[in-house]
Chains A and B, each alone.
Chain A
């Protein structure tokens, strides 16, 4: 009960601060929009599909996973700024739930991600993407879980490092191979065998496959429940680890 209340307090404050500077929400969505406008048109001929709609069906899911990953993995920078300003220490001397300090922030990240994802989908539909509402909601649920996982991870790591200079190279080192082997920009059906086997170890590759199946209007596909299981399991483990590390860090 106290945990829920405290989480709400932290979440509400973070939301309030975010809405005060809504420009950041837009900035976060600009990069994926560029991909949508400037990269997606290349795909129809490159993928050998017949219509724009088909190309978007393949591309938008990857773009959404990209957004979920990159929108959440770098949120730790904000925490380091808060540490520096003394805001975290001020919270730590109160009896507020330590876990709520983490979860409240992560939930804010989930909400901002979903807003951005909705924006992308709306724009893509304008370009001719056609997708069922339930399928989109399913995809959003998966993205929310990814976002929760990566933002919790990011907060825990940044609390350990306490320095932007250390955090940036670390996150880039992690995120680049994850991005490239997740089949985000192009489906891994084009990949040579060894690369596909590497991708099998990348949970986000499973997520991309799952979201693609949903956008293809096939929620019953194996890849959908597999994505849910892989991402769900990993999120559970990550969030437990992150909250322990976080709670130890802020005691």
Chain B
């Protein structure tokens, strides 16, 4: 649904008398499949928004190529516009307009005639639970309501792909959860959703696949589970009553255990490929050998661990 190759963009920025060229995006290769939620994760300033704005035809790439929903971004941006929807980070509604007016106008900008535009607006208002406020000025809306209008505006013409730029930034936890449901609903309706975020939990909960971007480049890409497993595997912590040595000897030979460490409190840290598979084996083995288990814990790596491994720093710090 989205294929890009070597997409890049640099800006000239002036600091005092010197002009510096800032490479915002340095060659992005992407492949997004139809019907998935694809997450673009990275710290602020990583180049996520620039990439997104290029894909949404808002800025022209300096180089590279991209095909979006079958249309060529550089040769035929007009056709790309017809096939995609885009929801900007900073909102898109005019204070003095109502949601219904905005939706009808937006649909008409796509060439949809009046009656059909009105029908679509009514449907969209229902789908996004905005009917109650539909004819009030948008300046009276809450942050969450406004964001829902933004998304409704982005998909009013029934695009194949929708780009959402940090859709939950600035929302309270409840509106955020609500927004996640809306995004999943878009996917379930057959849309491909391309979303940028700098929230780890959001990428984790929402996205089928993610790419991690840093300093204008994609540092890694894949499903969330694969990425986690690739960097660290799961860690099972086993507390054994004074039998650490014996347990270590037993477990060392097992093929599902990658590495064993003994921590200061005499519990064992077992690095395994998949914790949920390893745990029953570990239990059975220790039980048979008569080793008394005090406690057992499974730690799955987080996306932050992935980010740390790939970039050498924590996403939370950057």
Q: Are A85 and B91 closer than 8 Å at their CB atoms?
A: yes
**A21 nearest in chain B by CB position:** B96
Q: Which of A62-103 contact B (CB under 8 A)?
A: 82, 85-87, 89-96
Q: Are A86 and B92 closer than 8 Å at their CB atoms?
A: yes
In the complex, A90 Cα to B92 Cα: how many Å? Answer: 6
Which of B60, B81, B92, B157 is the one whose CB lies under 8 Å from A85? B92
With an 8 A cutoff between CB atoms, is B11 at the interface? no
Q: Which of A2-51 contact B (CB under 8 A)?
A: 2, 6, 9, 13, 16-17, 20-21
Q: Are B111 and A95 closer than 8 Å at their CB atoms?
A: yes
In the complex, A124 Cα to B195 Cα: how many Å? Answer: 60
A88-128 vs B, Cβ < 8 Å mask (1 yes, 0 no): 01111111100000000000000000000000000000000
B174 to chain A, nearest CB (A): 24
How many residues does chain B have at the interface if contact means C-beta atoms less than 8 Å apart? 29
Q: Are B81 and A93 closer than 8 Å at their CB atoms?
A: yes
B81-115 vs A, Cβ < 8 Å mask (1 yes, 0 no): 11011101011111111000100011011110000
B43-82 vs A, Cβ < 8 Å mask (1 yes, 0 no): 0000000000000111110000000000000000010011
Q: Are A6 and B109 closer than 8 Å at their CB atoms?
A: yes
Q: Are B111 and A90 closer than 8 Å at their CB atoms?
A: no
Q: Are B93 and A85 closer than 8 Å at their CB atoms?
A: yes
Q: Are B94 and A9 closer than 8 Å at their CB atoms?
A: no
Which of B88, B91, B93, B110 is the one whose CB lies under 8 Å from A95? B110
In the complex, A9 Cα to B85 Cα: how many Å? Answer: 20
How many residues does chain A have at the interface if contact means C-beta atoms less than 8 Å apart? 21
* B88 proximity list for chain A (CB < 8 A): 86, 89-90
Main secondary structure of the interface of B (DSSP, over half): loop
A120 to chain B, nearest CB (A): 27
Q: Are B101 and A16 closer than 8 Å at their CB atoms?
A: yes
With an 8 A cutoff between CB atoms, is B179 at the interface? no
Which of A6, A16, A95 is the one whose CB lies under 8 Å from B81? A95
B94 to chain A, nearest CB (A): 5
With an 8 A cutoff between CB atoms, is B211 at the interface? no
Query: Which of A86, A94, A251 is most buried by chain B, counting CB atoms within 10 A of its CB?
Result: A94
Q: Are A91 and B58 closer than 8 Å at their CB atoms?
A: no
**A97 nearest in chain B by CB position:** B109
Q: Are B106 and A94 closer than 8 Å at their CB atoms?
A: yes
* A20 proximity list for chain B (CB < 8 A): 96
Q: Are A91 and B90 closer than 8 Å at their CB atoms?
A: no
Query: Which of B56, B105, B111 is most buried by chain A, counting CB atoms within 10 A of its CB?
Result: B105
Q: Are B105 and A13 closer than 8 Å at their CB atoms?
A: yes
B296 to chain A, nearest CB (A): 51
B29 to chain A, nearest CB (A): 24
Query: Which of A2, A21, A91 is most buried by chain B, counting CB atoms within 10 A of its CB?
Result: A91
With an 8 A cutoff between CB atoms, is B153 at the interface? yes
* A6 proximity list for chain B (CB < 8 A): 109
**A94 nearest in chain B by CB position:** B109
Q: Are A9 and B82 closer than 8 Å at their CB atoms?
A: no
Q: Are A85 and B95 closer than 8 Å at their CB atoms?
A: yes
In the complex, A20 Cα to B136 Cα: how many Å? Answer: 13
Q: Are A90 and B153 closer than 8 Å at their CB atoms?
A: yes
Q: Are A87 and B82 closer than 8 Å at their CB atoms?
A: no
A93 to chain B, nearest CB (A): 4
Known: A6-B109, A9-B108, A251-B60. A93 touches B97 (CB 8 A): no
Which of A9, A86, A91, A92 is the one whose CB lies under 8 Å from B91? A86
B278 to chain A, nearest CB (A): 48
* B111 proximity list for chain A (CB < 8 A): 2, 95
B86 to chain A, nearest CB (A): 4
In the complex, A125 Cα to B153 Cα: how many Å? Answer: 49
- List 13 contacting pairs A-B, 8 Å CB cutoff, sorted by A: A17-B96, A85-B91, A86-B91, A87-B94, A89-B88, A90-B106, A93-B58, A94-B81, A94-B110, A95-B78, A95-B81, A95-B82, A251-B60
